Structure 1
Amino acid sequence: MSVEVARRIVLLRHAKADWPEVADHDRPLAERGRHDARTAGLWLAGAGVTPDLTLCSTAVRARETWKLYASELTRRPKTAYDERLYEASPGEVIAVINEVDEAVRDLLVVGHNPTTHALADLLAATSEGDTRARMNASGYPTSGQAVLTLTTPWKSVEPGVARLSAFWTPHD
């Protein structure tokens, strides 16, 4: 008999980026983005979620978001920078999640839109109160984050396996 393990996935969209004359992958955070990334980390710490693992896009703005966000957590989780998360489709992100070690209870994924929003919507079969409506109405702004709960093993994550339990933006 198997025991269901409660797990959480936090889907964080990178913070607001600047638009200098560099390749998209190399765009840094704007001043507002640096502030919002820290505020987002404070919110997660206050929500009592401490990721065991962070999967982060290799884009400069995602890495900078993660560094500032992590500085506000009670402990820094193991981090894996994965180039597959840059310009990934929701299905490609799910494939990366399917590779996560089963010892991980809480996972944070730092990525990009429109994928992050689409992935949150795709994974959530149900939602807490008006959480999905708020997420969809907001357009999932930069530094927005969704917390999804599930009991399936990581290798079995697929559309409709989770509950959208929280959605937060820096301007809530």
Structure 2
Amino acid sequence: MSVAEPRRIVLFRHAKADWPQVSDHERPLAERGRMDAAVAGRKLADSDITLDLALCSTAIRTRETWKLAVHELAHRPKTVYEERVYEASPGELIAVLNETPDDSQNVVLIGHNPGVQGLAEILAGSAEGDARERMSRRGFPAAAFAVLSFTGSWKSLEPGVATLLDYWAPSE
């Protein structure tokens, strides 16, 4: 694959988590979260993006979200559970994405707020249609995702280089 071909990044926030008496890292999905994760997976499937790689936080709620969402996809990408995605800042997430091999064209990152929303906002130097307005209006609730595109190597990913192509969030 050429670095001149557009790459896609799907920034996916974990679905709604429960609040049992466990550490934050060990929090599971709530019942609503399990439903929303599957719906988000179907919406991703409808986008016709063939994902090559999934970078998923090691937290239980992100792992459960991805397991339910990926089940809806026609093609199951390689999944890497990455400790650095848990509680990461936008800059830390960019550093993780900069290490992505250039043979991966389309990547989904399953993580947490405020990092995922912040990353979507700072990467998007431009937007198509009303995607930015919808994301600004809704914020980045649980199970939301943004689809961005940029051209170049993963090492060249930095603030402002991407176009926000789409944004989706579950109904309230």
Q: Same fold, TM exceeding 0.5?
A: yes
Task: Give runs of aligned pairs for residues 66-85 of structure 1, distance below 5 A.
Answer: 66-85=66-85
The corresponding residue for 2:21 is: 21
Check conservation: 1:90, 1:115, Cα contact below 8 A: yes
CA distance in 2, matches of 1:5, 1:112: 28
Q: Unaligned 5+ residue runs, structure 2?
A: none
Check conservation: 1:152, 1:161, Cα contact below 8 A: no
Check conservation: 1:147, 1:165, Cα contact below 8 A: yes
Q: CA deviation at 1:171?
A: 1.4
CA distance in 2, matches of 1:154, 1:51: 15
CA distance in 1, matches of 2:115, 2:56: 13
CA distance in 1, matches of 2:105, 2:78: 12
Task: Give runs of aligned pairs for residues 89-168 of structure 1, distance below 5 A.
Answer: 89-168=89-168
Q: TM-score, normalised by structure 1?
A: 0.97
Check conservation: 1:57, 1:63, Cα contact below 8 A: yes
Q: CA deviation at 1:170?
A: 1.6
Match of 2:109, SS state, is strand
Q: CA deviation at 1:63?
A: 0.3
Q: CA deviation at 1:3?
A: 6.1
The corresponding residue for 1:9 is: 9
Q: CA deviation at 1:49?
A: 1.1
Q: Is 6-15 or 134-143 further displaced after alignment? A: 134-143
Q: Is 130-139 or 105-114 further displaced after alignment? A: 130-139
Question: Once the two structures are superposed, what CA deviation does each residue of 1:76-104 show, in whole Å capped at 9, x if it has no partner?
Answer: 10000000000111000000000000000
State the one-letter code of the partner of 2:77: P
Q: TM-score, normalised by structure 2?
A: 0.97
The corresponding residue for 2:57 is: 57
Q: CA deviation at 1:152?
A: 1.7
Q: Unaligned 5+ residue runs, structure 1?
A: none
Q: Calculate percent identity across the aligned residue pairs.
A: 58
CA distance in 1, matches of 2:42, 2:3: 32
CA RMSD of aligned residues (A): 1.1
Q: CA deviation at 1:137?
A: 1.2
Q: CA deviation at 1:44?
A: 0.7
